[in-house]
Amino acid sequence: MTNVVREKVTVASLEENQIIPWYRSWGPGAIVAACIIGPGTVTTVSVAGAQFGFQVAWILVLACLVGYFIQRPVINWTVATGTSVLEGIRDEISSLWSKLIFFGLWLGALAFQAGNFIGASMAMNLIFPSVPMLAWVSLLSVSAMGIAWFGVYKVLENINRIVMIMLVLTFCLTALAALPNAGATINQGFTFSIPQGDLLIVLALIATILVPNTLVALSGFMKDKYRHSAYTKEQIRSISVNDLKINFTLLAIISIAILLSSAAAFYGSGQTINSAGDMAVQLTPILGSFATIFFAIGLWTAGFSSGLFNLTVQPMLFGHAFNQSESPNAPVNRIILIVTGLIPIALVWAFGGSPIELIISAQAINGLLLPVLTVVLYRLTNKKDRMGRFHNSASSNIITLFIIGLVTLLAIRVFISFF
């Protein structure tokens, strides 16, 4: 992502069996997890809670496990080769594939970027209703561009550590406020049944956790963090796996807290939720302004962090896919950053609100891209000549093939719905 400022692990002497403190593990995984919890995820989980109650909690846990296990081979690749998976696709499979994957990811990100900042703006409107939506979107987009412009990895990492803490606190406090109304629903959370036989809800909740950008971004952030590290490869893998465990556990906690809040407030009431902003507004008469403010803060944090991720990651992915500079100072990376940052402002100015058609198109692109990306990653991370002792185990390959089946089913469903 950047060649300007990098985190350097300054350790005089590191033994291979030295135990690394857990807080040193918290890094790239926090950036990825904070991206996943965006307005789209908040909306999807809220709608699921309102429609099905807490009985879909096990699906969220499954989705987080799927997200965790599909990233394990990605970590192994980066540790073994010192390159990102998108660089691996470029060099080991096809430069055309790496370029096509980048453009697919970028098109999806451009549309979702509008949704990210609109979601954050809706949250700000709950607290400051007199400020126009366009003003909030412009302010948030320009602020995120300012942070991404300098491309300082350590700053991004620290911001997203704070983001994850804020998301846990805000959504868990909201859920605790709702808890007295949710006691009867908690036992339903892990019956492992598909409510009303609706397979679509399973796929939707898994899809909202499996964001295609994150599948290739994690290795890029790992490469950036540990490029000049004094740690051994085994230590880097241990740190990275712990990072992944910590943040996907937090991701599961946040998702279940959102689900619990929605289930307690709306399940069985006949009320419907069309957006995360709707949920925040409708919580007021049920939970009071205190809980609504916390939900609004959580929604703002989710939208802004996802928007910042998309702004930061696109120049890095472009450099990996096209074998160009990863420096944020490179002219082409400046252009990509500016375009990605200005698109949300232009869309809100043109549409006056959320461009639903574009966001639906982005969901279709992501849904169709997932099976392609997972198959390519499976092929890449099974190159034993490059992976060496970090090659995939048989159990890891079985799990990955199961995930490929799931996302292929999702893609078929998206294809049918979209066309």
Instruction: Supply the DSSP string of 41-69, one letter for each residue.
Output: HHHHHHHHHHHHGGGGHHHHHHHHHHHHH
Nearest to 259 by CA among 40, 51, 34: 51
Asked if pLDDT for residue 21 goes beyond 70, the answer is no
Asked if pLDDT for residue 85 goes beyond 90, the answer is yes
Between 353 and 131, whose confidence is greater?
131
| DSSP string across 130-184 | TS-HHHHHHHHHHHHHHHHHH--HHHHHHHHHHHHHHHHHHHHHHHHHHGGGTHH
What pLDDT is stored for residue 14 in this prediction? 43
pTM exceeding 0.85: no
Q: How does DSSP classify residue 19?
A: P
Asked if pLDDT for residue 42 goes beyond 70, the answer is yes
What pLDDT is stored for residue 382 in this prediction? 93
In percent, the amount of the chain with pLDDT more than 70 equals: 81
What pLDDT is stored for residue 326 in this prediction? 82
In percent, the amount of the chain with pLDDT more than 90 equals: 27
Give ∠ CA 50-52-58 in degrees, rounded to 5: 115
Fold of 27-418: Amino acid/polyamine transporter I (1.20.1740)
Asked if pLDDT for residue 201 goes beyond 90, the answer is no
What pLDDT is stored for residue 360 in this prediction? 56
Q: How does DSSP classify residue 397?
A: H
Asked if pLDDT for residue 160 goes beyond 60, the answer is yes
Question: Tens digit of pLDDT for each residue in 93-107?
Answer: 999 999 999 998 888
Residue 147 tokens, joined:
């942070």
Residue whose token pair is 């969901």: 363
What pLDDT is stored for residue 353 in this prediction? 59
What pLDDT is stored for residue 357 in this prediction? 56
Residue whose token pair is 């009303």: 196
Average pLDDT, the chain: 81
Per-residue pLDDT averaged across 189-215, rounded?
77
Q: Distance of alpha carbon 108 from its chain centroid, rounded?
A: 13
Between 373 and 208, whose confidence is greater?
373
What pLDDT is stored for residue 202 in this prediction? 77
Asked whether the beta carbons of 243 and 26 are under 8 A apart, the reply is yes
Reported as a pLDDT band with limits 50, 70 and 90, residue 24 is low
Question: Tens digit of pLDDT for each residue in 255-306?
Answer: 998 888 888 778 777 777 766 666 766 666 666 666 677 778 888 888 888 8
Reported as a pLDDT band with limits 50, 70 and 90, residue 12 is very low
Asked if pLDDT for residue 310 goes beyond 80, the answer is yes
Q: How does DSSP classify residue 91?
A: I
Between 123 and 414, whose confidence is greater?
123
Per-residue pLDDT averaged across 22-37, rounded?
81
The ranges assigned to domains in the chain are 27-418
Alpha helices in 267-380 (DSSP H): 276-282, 284-322, 331-351, 356-380
Asked if pLDDT for residue 414 goes beyond 90, the answer is no
